Chain A
Amino acid sequence: MEQLFTFGIVGLSTAAIYAIIGSGLVLTYTTTGVFNFAHGAAGMMAAFAYWQLTEGWGLPVPLALILVLVVLAPAFGLLVERLVLRPIQGLGDAERLVMTVAMLSGLIAAARWIWDPNEARSLPRFFENTDAIDIGPATVTWHQALTMIVAVAVAIGLRILLYGTRIGAEMRASVDDRALVGLTGANPVRSNQVAWILGTQLAAVGGILIAPAVSLDASQLSLLIVSAYTAAIFGRLRSLPLTFLGAVVVGCLESYLTGYLPQNDYLPGLRLAAPALLLFLSLLVFPHRRLRGRDTKARPVPSPSLQGTLLFAGAVVLFGLVLASLLGEGDLITYGQIFSFGVIALSYVPLAGYAGQISLCQLSMAGIGAAVWAHAGADGQLWALPLAVVIAGAAGALIALPALRLSGVYLALGTTAFAVILDRWIFTLPSFEVLGLNISLFDGGTVDVAGPSLFGWRLDDGSELMVFAAVWLALASLAIAVLRRGRFGRQLIALRDSEAAYATLGGNLLLSKVAVFALSAGIAGLGGALYGMQQRSVTAEQFGLVAGLPLFLVAVVGGLTAVGNGLFTGVAVGGSFPVISAAGAFAQNITSVLPALAGLGLARNPDGAVPEIRSGYEPLGRNKPVLGGLVVALAGLWVLQLQDVLDGWLTFGLALFLIVAAQAAATALEQARAARSTDTDVPVEWWGVRREWRREDEEVLARGIAGG
């Protein structure tokens, strides 16, 4: 009985913190329309900053609190509003989501950069030396009492602010109709600023209050937000009282699970995963409508030509061959990731690019693929590879079924929850048996991974494995291109453009969604297996939610609808990051922040980099002499390197230079030719037929039509 009370009080005081963080989340969502995935990360930063000020530099607690809550948090909120959110005001849900995911990833990376994660840090509780209060059979520490008092104050304060003041009305009005807010003479930017300042402050309060109870770890603190998400979903992202209720449910659940869950090897993870499980369930149970707002029009999806894709696939294999012939064994392991990451990133193309379903658990699917291959293909049996794909695909279908009703932010949340459940619980399990089936994933640690055996020919050195992975990336890219051009591809795009329209047109929503989730999880699983082979051994941490964010962000930056995305992301994450990291620890830190920065740049170019790169290199593709010259020169470099005439970095630099120079030359030549042909008078209706279509033409035509 006494225990029941004690755990109840612990639960309520945790609940109070979740309520504070969750209400900040609801506040920013209802008043700016942006669901902030980085909300918890902002609280994490605040906790670290507070630690730095008090424990690090020895400032008195009140002063540190004022600095963090009144100076740093508002400044951060304003900065985020100005730099991150204002540019995406006019963009769609997906872009907003990416921006805050980028912020989450970036803040975690930044915190790890500033505060070395290998050093243990802890914060004391408030009023640690004051005696606890006795209430009947239980005791309440002053820290616990404080959290509850703060939560109640926050609840009352927010209520008054939103429903009792003009700025509150202004904040709510700006979600309804920003333009109209401007017409009334109010300042729509100001209400957003107030919302971000308050939201960040609430996150900061929550972060500082919860930090003493957990270790000061960047990703762990950021992911405490999962509990606050759950609370916010209870409130359907709009009701503050229900958010508080949700917080109580989550807080108490966690606390009682700690107290009453039997101790064995299988269940501790369940406690850690419980908020995520609850989040998943509450997403399914609570009806939610999308926030009203003008949706931006969907961008067109390019349809790659078969010939072009074949060429591309050939180039991928050639690239793999050349790289494999040049690199030493150590580098092969490092850069081998290019192709396996490429395959994993490619899995976003059908799912997020074509079907518009944003999933944040693709790397977890890769983890399943890797684990299946590691066990079933322990002796390199080739049949284990399709098995890995099928099992990862099945896991994908498993998410799709409940996620059928979710879209946008809710789907992203659901897949986040799924990734966390895998991370914290399933992947940490030792081998277990279900229905007579012996299942082992990472055996609670590291598992060794073997290379495949191709009809008796065992691939086990790095160069062979690299080519093997390159071939798979080429095949997968081809398959996606074929898919895009076929009926299923068109169906997926129709589904993205309007689920309702798709259903009324007689499309089978259930089947298509499950199919695309399974397909993309299968591809990710393949990528995971290839990654495992390359690494020789894998652990669960390599496939965690946070580890997957950079891959997702870089894929978004590449352009989710482009088939070339696989190679782009692979080269960026698996190739260029190790190259930069080679320059030392500082550079390594930069690479961990890079995906986030790139993601934040998305607002400037929502179509992604791959289409841009492709159109930049089109002149080179058309100019056969220059292209031929480039190929010959690169081949020459390759031979020289093989003969050890040149050394690695020099070859790399020269090759890069040659490619860029050839591209510039081809573009310049083409422009010169275009300039010469301007004078020849081609009638308007033959533009684009008898002579090439030019950028200016569009404007000339528009003027003509409008003036007509």
Chain B
Amino acid sequence: MTPLLELRDVRAAYGKITVLHGVSVSVSAGQVVALLGPNGAGKTTSLNVAAGTHPVQSGQLILGGRDMTGANPRDLARAGICLIPEGRGVFPNLSVRDNLLMMTFTGHSRAEIEAVAFERFPILAKRANQPAGSMSGGEQQMLALARGLATDPAVLLLDELSMGLAPLVVGRLYEQVAEIARQGVGVLVVEQFAAAVLGIADHAAVMVRGRVEREGAPDSELRAELSALYLGSST
């Protein structure tokens, strides 16, 4: 099966400092790929490259077989990329309803979006007229995730969905992520805490200092290597 989204040998830099040294990752339809690794490995940067919010120095970004390297975030969003950035996936000063309205730029009507969001996360319906920033962290992530659910993206990119949330809430959010993947969406998940995501992942890639060091099924061997990595005894 040809992958939906593919980063091919991507190099990227902040100013003069190169932080991605040839990263290749791919996600197929219906697949959940976990991108793991210690702080500063370049996970967020990789997602930003995939969403067009960070430029590449070299390498390619392929979406559905088409080379989209250098496209802007807006065009990538319209082509089916949905990035939920780290810790700020909602507009805090807009009401929940207006946040949902902001999900209509990729072709769905307001009614469709609200129907899906309120059905999956009934709490959002209760908070509909409240500013999103005044909701709890978990509720905000639900609202952010509603974009992934309701807009039928081709690929969903999630950055640290678990940040600052209780394990129970994280578990429920990832159930929704698994559900999104079952509908045929390719999902690329970045997580610090691997346990949360390895349960639903089909494939895992481990990044260290800007390179993918290890790839494969999320089996016990990979887990063992991962914990060794986090403890600093890199191979």
Contact = CB atoms under 8 A, between A and B. Distances in A.
Nearest to B18: A706
Contacts of B105: 184-186
Interface string A352-365: 00000000000000
B30 interface: no
Contacts of B18: 703, 706-707
A702 B77 contact: no
Given A172-B94, A176-B94, A706-B19, A185 B74 contact: yes
A569 to B, nearest CB: 32
B43 interface: no
B98 A169 contact: yes
A166 interface: yes
Nearest to A172: B94
A183 interface: yes
B16 interface: yes
A157 interface: no
A184 B147 contact: yes
B94 A166 contact: no
Contacts of B147: 184
Interface residues of A, number: 25
A705 interface: yes
Given A183-B53, A699-B16, A176 B77 contact: no
A182 B88 CA distance: 13
Given A182-B53, A184-B77, A706-B18, A170 B85 contact: no
- Which of A179, A183, A186, A699 has the most C-beta atoms of chain B within 10 angstroms of its own C-beta? A183
Contacts of A702: 15-17
B72 A180 contact: no
Interface string B76-89: 01100011010011
B102 A173 contact: yes
A172 B77 contact: no
A705 B83 CA distance: 30
Interface string B1-35: 00000000000010111110100000000000000
B163 interface: no
For the residues of A in contact with B, the DSSP-based class is helix
B19 A185 contact: no
B73 interface: yes
A704 to B, nearest CB: 11
A346 interface: no
Given A169-B101, A698-B16, A702-B16, A182 B74 contact: yes
A177 B91 contact: yes
A179 B76 CA distance: 13
Interface in B56-108: 72-74, 77-78, 82-83, 85, 88-89, 91-94, 98, 101-106
A187 interface: yes
A166 B17 contact: no
Contacts, number: 75
A318 to B, nearest CB: 42
A175 interface: yes
Nearest to A30: B93
Nearest to B93: A176
A120 B26 CA distance: 72
B179 to A, nearest CB: 21
B51 interface: yes
A699 B77 CA distance: 34
Nearest to B106: A185
Contacts of A180: 85, 88-89, 91
Contacts of B106: 184-185
B169 to A, nearest CB: 22
Contacts of B94: 169, 172-173, 176
Contacts of B82: 183
A706 B77 CA distance: 31
A166 B101 CA distance: 7
Contacts of B73: 179, 182-183
Contacts of B102: 166, 169-170, 173, 181, 184, 186
Contacts of A176: 91-94
B17 A183 contact: no
A472 to B, nearest CB: 44
A621 to B, nearest CB: 29
Nearest to A705: B17
A176 B88 CA distance: 10
Nearest to B75: A185
A173 B17 contact: no
Interface in A633-649: none
A192 to B, nearest CB: 14
- Which of B53, B72, B93, B106 has the most C-beta atoms of chain A within 10 angstroms of its own C-beta? B93
Interface string A293-316: 000000000000000000000000
A122 B80 CA distance: 58
A312 B147 CA distance: 61
A162 to B, nearest CB: 10
A170 B19 CA distance: 33
Nearest to A175: B93
A705 B17 CA distance: 8
B206 to A, nearest CB: 20
A184 B103 contact: yes
A183 B85 contact: yes
Contacts of A292: 92-93
Interface string A137-181: 000000000000000000000000000001001101101110111
13 contacts: A169-B94, A170-B102, A183-B53, A183-B77, A183-B83, A183-B85, A184-B102, A184-B103, A184-B147, A185-B77, A292-B92, A702-B15, A705-B17
Given A176-B92, A183-B77, A183-B83, 10 more contacts: A173-B102, A180-B88, A181-B102, A182-B74, A183-B51, A183-B85, A703-B18, A705-B17, A706-B210, A707-B21
Interface of B: 13, 15-19, 21, 51, 53, 72-74, 77-78, 82-83, 85, 88-89, 91-94, 98, 101-106, 147, 210
Interface of A: 166, 169-170, 172-173, 175-177, 179-187, 292, 698-699, 702-703, 705-707
Q: Which 5 A-B pairs have the closest CB atoms?
A: A185-B77, A185-B105, A182-B73, A702-B16, A176-B91
